[in-house]
Structure 1
Amino acid sequence: MAVTVRPAVAADIVVIMSFVRALADYEKLLHEVEATEADLAGHLFCETPRLFCDIAEQDGAPVGFAIWFYNYSTFRGRHGIYLEDLFVVPEARGLGAGKALLRALAQRCEAQGLARLEWAVLNWNAPAIAFYDGLGAGAQTEWTVRRLTDQALVSLARS
């Protein structure tokens, strides 16, 4: 049973939101999900989207997704892809859906002359880390991700 990857369409929004919630639950972050179907649909399926989603299917049934956007490297002088979310339903893990989603993004990078494909992984997520290591994805240990949100973001904006 081959896994196929296709771009998401507006009719996929319920499935996409279910994958977002399932990923958040797996990452123990379900309490942080504020996005709604309308929020995601408004960004994914607008006239000029800046957010994109690919769906992995097995026998025509959605089994996973990748949500991504373009970033830019001033050092490389080219765009790249930042993978925001990658999720495969537990019962489909090991069937190649995750690799198929990443392969599709790597193929997009190659076809468009993009410099890199990058993402973040939680330090405790050993299965994901092992999967990424198996693909040859190197950890960027010299970088620490920093983030401003909520009141800290507002405080800086108003200072």
Structure 2
Amino acid sequence: MSDHSAGVASGAAATLRPAAPADIAALLDLVHALALYEKAPHEVEMTAPMLHEALFGPQPLARAVLAEADGAVAGFALFFTSFSTWTGRAGLYLEDLFVLPAARGRGIGRALLRHLAREAVRLGCARLEWSVLDWNRPAIDFYQSLGAVPLDEWTRYRLKGEALAALAA
């Protein structure tokens, strides 16, 4: 596997590569598949132009890595750089990791996380973090098998919609 995000990494399970503008439709399909798996397909507001701008616009907000197996897209990871005031260093935040059901059990999720871990180390990041739904036991078990630990003392909060607009007013 490559240590550089611009490279292509190959393994028995899949080939990993950075997403390119031509991958927007496939990435959007994966996002919709993830939303369906998470029982929230109605919550996806992102469009292809929005995703293109976020990944490839003048000020990219995130990066994505695709996993391909058997000549087809099998999964993805979408991530961005965060910052810790406590460590004084950057981190990588994994927004989404998803492997299509037909491609699971082949090490693709592990390969995607290994790629992100290598990218975090290459960039001198203090950590790699993500969130997982509390009912997603298969994902929790998988993450813990890799040595990830839950941050039980932290509760994630969110402002959106009317509450966000009201506070901003």
TM-score of the superposed pair, with normalisation by structure 2: 0.91
Aligned residues: 158
Mapped partners of 2:138, 2:125: distance in 1? 28
**Where do residues 1-159 of structure 1 align in structure 2 (5 Å cutoff)?**
1-158=12-169
- Give, in angstroms, the shift of residue 105 of structure 1: 0.5
One-letter code of the match for 1:90? P
Mapped partners of 2:70, 2:20: distance in 1? 18
Percent identity for Structure 1 against Structure 2: 53
Structure 1 consecutive aligned stretches of length 4 or more whose deviation exceeds 2 Å? none
Look up the SS of the partner of 1:13 in the other structure: helix
- Give, in angstroms, the shift of residue 48 of structure 1: 2.9
Look up the SS of the partner of 1:156 in the other structure: helix
Look up the SS of the partner of 1:104 in the other structure: helix
Give the alignment's Cα RMSD to 1 decimal.
Answer: 0.9
One-letter code of the match for 1:67? L
Mapped partners of 2:117, 2:70: distance in 1? 23
TM-score of the superposed pair, with normalisation by structure 1: 0.97
Deviations 1:95-131 (A, max 9, x none): 1111111101000011111110000000000110011
- Give, in angstroms, the shift of residue 47 of structure 1: 2.7
Contiguous gaps of at least 5 residues in structure 1: none
Mapped partners of 1:111, 1:53: distance in 2? 17
Mapped partners of 1:117, 1:142: distance in 2? 18
Mapped partners of 1:104, 1:55: distance in 2? 11
CA contact (8 A) 1:21 1:30 kept: yes
CA contact (8 A) 1:81 1:109 kept: yes
CA contact (8 A) 1:2 1:59 kept: no
